[in-house]
Each structure stands twice: as structure tokens, then as C-alpha cells.
Structure 1
């Protein structure tokens, strides 16, 4: 991108996914003069989805968007001598509500923040994705695919709840240290989730999240490793809920072959997404293993993930085979087969079983 401040959120996600597939992603520069720049980036996609519900013995066909919603983002940067001021706002829209609300398409703002860059590093203030589980999802090989089923009429879940939780966009003040070779460190204060709800609930401190990542090249092998985490405490009278989580992963690439493994472990956290909702200090954990091979304009992906959540009384697993073809640097075709299963953890009873074929097209700029 033409902006000088560090990329974040969807810009990082798309860059990682496009680089993995051999493509490129560059925003359209609208203005760049006298140290001030403004650029726009976009992501558009649609999938034909044919899903078989094995438990209900029914089949459903839809035209839906993929795991990443359709997005348009605006990027700002201004050189102020020793400091560079920047900002990003991105607007995410669904196409899945076509007949549910024919003329009222839902739009949400997952990023709306400013940045201050200098020799000290970077300070981000505003709303952005969290640091906990950030690289787990942004380095997912099927990020630009479809993945496991989500809520009816909503987005698909990719590998959310089958290998990692969602780094819910939150109000935050995040510091990123200057890059030290391949080492990157970020620490943030985020708006706390109300996990001890009711009259008299108290959140006396913000949520603390952090991420440390390291990238290096070892005799032609590109290696990336990361650890991220979160902690907070909430009270309601005699009830106190301490929540914590740690995410981790490693990814290795050589020539066209890429192998990745990641996971998480948490206590008191919702392993799907962080929200204001009462919870307990029960545990959850999960893992995701993936392999991909790129040959020419094509990328073949095999993915398997699991989540075991005492806190939600569920066990899930998800297997995906995906094929991505770059028609050119801004146009991609996707074919994916997904098998998702969920069961009640305490009883072992099957609760969901879906097999999904998804055929999609993606345009970026």
C-alpha cells in the first residue's frame, strides 16, 4: 500500500493471503503530495454454496459471500516531521441478507482508528481487531475461502470455533514497538468484555492483549512464529470471573510448499468471539493444522481443525480441501469442499453435521 504507517487488520490479512497464493494487493492511490497521501482498497466476493445437512437429511443452495465479507477501506497518512500521522476506516458489508431485508443491507465498521508513528514505534487509537488470536486467523490458508457454516443468513465461520476464536474488533489503545529484525511486539489496552453481567457488575481495569511474532529465513525456508494472549477480570458482588487466553503458531514455507500449525488455550473466554455476556472460568482449547502447495497460478490447500470447549459444552472439527486459481493479480477463483461436525461435549450427542461445496470468485483492488 502507498501509506507509510504500518498496515493492520484486513490489509495485513489480505496481503498475507495474496502473497501465499502468488498474487499482489495494492491500494489505489488517490492522492500523494507534500507528505500527505490517501488511498482506497476493496475486496469483493461471492460464492455458490451447496450444503448438505447430514442430520436433518436436507440440502440447501445459496449465493453467499465467503469467510471475508465484502469490504472497502480508506487509508490516510501525513508526514509531520518526526512523526507520521495515519488512519484507516474500513466498512464491511454482507450480501447474505438479500431476501431477509431486501433494501437494508447490513454494514458494520470493524476498523476506525488513527496511528502515530515515530522512532518510538507506533501508537494506534480507535477500533481495530484484537491482538489475541490475530495471527491465528490472519495467517489461515483458507482466509479467502468459505470454511465452516456460520449463523443462518450470516457469514461463514472459516475456522472460527474449529481451531481459533475470533479477534473481535474492539476499542483500543495499542503500542507496537519498532521492528527489531524479524521481531515484532504489540501490547494493547482494550475495552473489557462484561463477563460478570447484572446489576452491580464492575470492570475495574481494561482488557490487556499482546502479541509477539518473529519471522526469519533459514537456508531458503521462510519461518514465522507467534504467541499472543489476553487477560481481564470482571466482578459482580461476590462473583469474580477472570478470563485469560493464549494463542500460538508456526508457519514454514519452502518453494511452493507451506506447512502451518496453530492453537489456543483459554479459561473463561468464549472460544467463538468475545462479547458482553456472562461466562464461567471453564476451559477451552483448539488447534489447526494446514498444508498448501502453490504451482504456477494455482494453490491447493488441506486444512483440519478442532475446538474442545467446556465453557460452551461443545466439541467441533472441520476439514477443508480448497483450490485457489489466480486469473490475474486482482481476480481469483475458488473451489472448496468442507466437512464440519459438532457434538455436545457432556453427552457426546451429535448436534451438527454439514458437508459444503463452495465455488467462488474474488476481486480485489
Structure 2
């Protein structure tokens, strides 16, 4: 079994999903392959011209930025050891958005650094990788290789994070994945828990638990993919206990060039952006959904997307509408044009927090 062909590579899933291909079809440069040992390199590079009209602050800005997916370089290895196959991946994710703040430097983060052990029993992954909760929600987003909604103050775009799904944080984990069972796949893991109750006697006595169930089949010419994922953890100190939990779900149907996707989530005790070490005062609710349609005609894919999130915990309501066109120049070179309309209100007061329209035109090169 060749580890490079497995579906656990976050970037491979993401790009393969957008291309309508399996992870094994992902382009990569094989550097070495001999005597059951292989080593390969893959890359993803992109840049967008971005023009954004911010109605709340009455400003318009033009920028050159990366898209929702950062620029990435990944290294993969695998080695056959009789009944077991040992593998691993390290990937480095970099921004181009800091070119004026750090002219001769750049921010680099490692979102994947893990080893895998494969056998007839399935696979065990140890190290750092994307989480299981909301994993398919984001990796099957039709706009994953686009730009998306405004995000952090650094200018990083958020795609549909907090407008339809939360982010499956790359986290330290030990995760088991079952063998494929006629289209059914199960993954369950223990993760580093977040400290949501800092203070005297703060503790997390159990790991964070995450799991995902996916099923893919074909029914009368229609390709169907469904998924259900979840997360639970508990954190407490001398005076407070916070249980954080969420459920994500979705279904994707494709026939000929048409694809329809609907997904959603519901959670409590969890700000629906990402889980992190940060104090939470209470266990309030959040929910959201994302509905998308795409049509592929020749080298072109047209996408329409709408998502919402309603969060008591984060005290916001958002909605995001996007239209986009992806054009394949060839299998390794893609052009993108996207128009995004994002709105956010403060839920407790109804005050308008954001109202932005964004035009993003970009190019993607991958290998």
C-alpha cells in the first residue's frame, strides 16, 4: 500500500475534491521509488488580485493576496515493511499577505507533520493533521480553491469559515481509520484538548474526541457522498466547567457536470470559527449551513454558494454569497474569478459589523 495514495493528506483531499478526482490522482513529483521505499513532493501556489468595497467603514482597497488555501509545499514518504506500510507527511503552509510587513521574511506554519502505519486493520496516524470535526464540510467546499469571505485582520480570507462551517484545526492527534468497507469509512481519534477554562486549578482530564463517518456510492448514475462528524471535550477550573461539542453533516450529489452540495453543523460551548486555548464564559449554541451548486462544462466550472452561521457563543450572525468561475488551462494550471458578498451583524444588538463586496481574480499552479 502506497502512503502517497491515501486520503489523509489534507491538501490532497482538498484539491482532489475540487478537481473531481481521487487523492491518488493528485500530481506530485516522485523523487525516489525503489525497493518498497518512495519519496515525493507536491506543491500548491496561488495569488489573487483582490478589490474589496467595505460599506461599514466606507473604504475600498486593492490588494494582491493568496486565496483561501495558502501556498504550500509538502513532502511524503512511504516504506513497505512486510505486512505493514510506514508513511508520513510534512507540509509547510506560507502566506504572501505579509510582503510589506515582513519584506524579507514570511510567516510559515506546519499544519501537517505526522506518521502513518497501514495494514489490513486500516491505518493509525500519529502527529499533527487537520481535525475530523467539520473535515468534509470544508474539504468538499466547492470554493475551496477560491478566495471567500474576509477573515482575520492580517488579510487572510476565510472561505466559508464562520459562514457555514467551523475550521478543522490542525491538532496533535492519534487517529484510527478503518479500511474501506464498500464505500463506508470510519475515522476516530484522540486530540490535544483546548483549555477553555484558564485559571486556578484548570484541567482537562480527558482528551478531545473527534470522529467522522463517510459513505460514497453511485445510484443510477448519480455519485453520492454523505458524511457525519463530531467533536467533544471538557475543560474545568475551580469554579467553571465547559463542555464543548459539535456535530457536522452533509451530502454531495453529482451527475454529468452538475454537482449539488448541502452541509451544516450545530455546536455548543464552542465559538464556531476554531477551537483554541481561550476562556469561554458559558456553553451557548451555534449553528450554520452551506448550500452550493456547480456545473462543469469542458474546462470551466461555475459555482454558486450561499452560507449562514448563527452564534450565541460568538455573538454574531453572518451570511455569505459567492459566485465563481474556475478555468482549467491544463491539469496543473487554473484561473479563478470570484465575487463575494459578506455580511455580519452583532446578534445581541443587531448592529451591523461588516458589509463587504469582494472581487478576486487569481491563478493557481500545482504539482
Return the TM-score normalized by structure 1: 0.98
Give the equivalent residue in structure 2 for 1:316: 318
User: Which of 302, 305, 315 is equivalent to 1:303?
Assistant: 305
Residues 242 and 281 of structure 1 are in contact (CA less than 8 Å); yes or no, is this contact kept in structure 2? yes
Give the equivalent residue in structure 1 for 2:147: 146
Shift of 1:56: 1.7
The whole-number CA distance in structure 1 between the counterparts of 2:354 and 2:32 is 50
Count of residues paired in the alignment: 363
Most deviating of 31-40 and 2-11: 2-11
The whole-number CA distance in structure 1 between the counterparts of 2:21 and 2:300 is 10
Residues 25 and 330 of structure 1 are in contact (CA less than 8 Å); yes or no, is this contact kept in structure 2? no
Cα deviation digits, residues 116-135 of structure 1 (max 9, x gap)? 00011100000000000000
Give the equivalent residue in structure 1 for 2:351: 349
For structure 1, the residue ranges without an aligned partner over 5 or more in a row are: none
Q: Does 1:237 align with 2:238?
A: yes
Shift of 1:6: 4.3
Q: Which secondary structure does the structure 2 equivalent of 1:17 belong to?
A: helix
User: In the superposition, relative to structure 1, how do residues 161 and 20 fare at CA in structure 2: closer, same or farther (>3 Å)?
Assistant: farther
Shift of 1:301: 0.1
Shift of 1:2: 7.5
The whole-number CA distance in structure 2 between the counterparts of 1:331 and 1:62 is 22
Give the equivalent residue in structure 1 for 2:182: 181
Residues 25 and 364 of structure 1 are in contact (CA less than 8 Å); yes or no, is this contact kept in structure 2? no
Q: Does 1:325 align with 2:327?
A: yes
Q: Which secondary structure does the structure 2 equivalent of 1:10 belong to?
A: helix
Q: Which secondary structure does the structure 1 equivalent of 2:20 belong to?
A: helix
Give the equivalent residue in structure 2 for 1:109: 110
Cα deviation digits, residues 59-107 of structure 1 (max 9, x gap)? 0000000000000000000000000000000000000001111112000
The whole-number CA distance in structure 2 between the counterparts of 1:141 and 1:346 is 32
Residues 25 and 329 of structure 1 are in contact (CA less than 8 Å); yes or no, is this contact kept in structure 2? no
Shift of 1:154: 3.5
Shift of 1:282: 0.5
Cα deviation digits, residues 6-51 of structure 1 (max 9, x gap)? 4421111111112279xx6311111110000000000000000000
Residues 294 and 303 of structure 2 are in contact (CA less than 8 Å); yes or no, is this contact kept in structure 1? yes
The whole-number CA distance in structure 2 between the counterparts of 1:324 and 1:140 is 14
Give the equivalent residue in structure 2 for 1:338: 340
Most deviating of 49-58 and 121-130: 49-58
After TM superposition, the structure 1 = structure 2 runs for residues 174-323 of structure 1, keeping only pairs within 5 Å, are: 174-279=175-280, 280-323=282-325
Return the TM-score normalized by structure 2: 0.97
User: In the superposition, relative to structure 1, how do residues 97 and 174 fare at CA in structure 2: closer, same or farther (>3 Å)?
Assistant: same
The whole-number CA distance in structure 1 between the counterparts of 2:125 and 2:325 is 36
Shift of 1:3: 2.4
User: In the superposition, relative to structure 1, how do residues 357 and 101 fare at CA in structure 2: closer, same or farther (>3 Å)?
Assistant: same
User: In the superposition, relative to structure 1, how do residues 283 and 307 fare at CA in structure 2: closer, same or farther (>3 Å)?
Assistant: same
Q: Which secondary structure does the structure 2 equivalent of 1:3 belong to?
A: helix
User: In the superposition, relative to structure 1, how do residues 52 and 4 fare at CA in structure 2: closer, same or farther (>3 Å)?
Assistant: closer
The whole-number CA distance in structure 2 between the counterparts of 1:275 and 1:168 is 9
Cα deviation digits, residues 270-321 of structure 1 (max 9, x gap)? 2001110011200000000000000000000000000000001000000000
After TM superposition, the structure 1 = structure 2 runs for residues 10-159 of structure 1, keeping only pairs within 5 Å, are: 10-19=11-20, 25-159=26-160
Most deviating of 50-59 and 146-155: 146-155
Shift of 1:4: 4.9
Residues 132 and 230 of structure 1 are in contact (CA less than 8 Å); yes or no, is this contact kept in structure 2? yes
The whole-number CA distance in structure 2 between the counterparts of 1:100 and 1:81 is 51
Most deviating of 275-284 and 329-338: 275-284
The whole-number CA distance in structure 1 between the counterparts of 2:21 and 2:254 is 9
User: In the superposition, relative to structure 1, how do residues 6 and 325 fare at CA in structure 2: closer, same or farther (>3 Å)?
Assistant: closer
Residues 271 and 284 of structure 1 are in contact (CA less than 8 Å); yes or no, is this contact kept in structure 2? yes
The whole-number CA distance in structure 1 between the counterparts of 2:348 and 2:6 is 48
Residues 4 and 77 of structure 1 are in contact (CA less than 8 Å); yes or no, is this contact kept in structure 2? no
Residues 251 and 263 of structure 2 are in contact (CA less than 8 Å); yes or no, is this contact kept in structure 1? yes
Shift of 1:5: 4.4
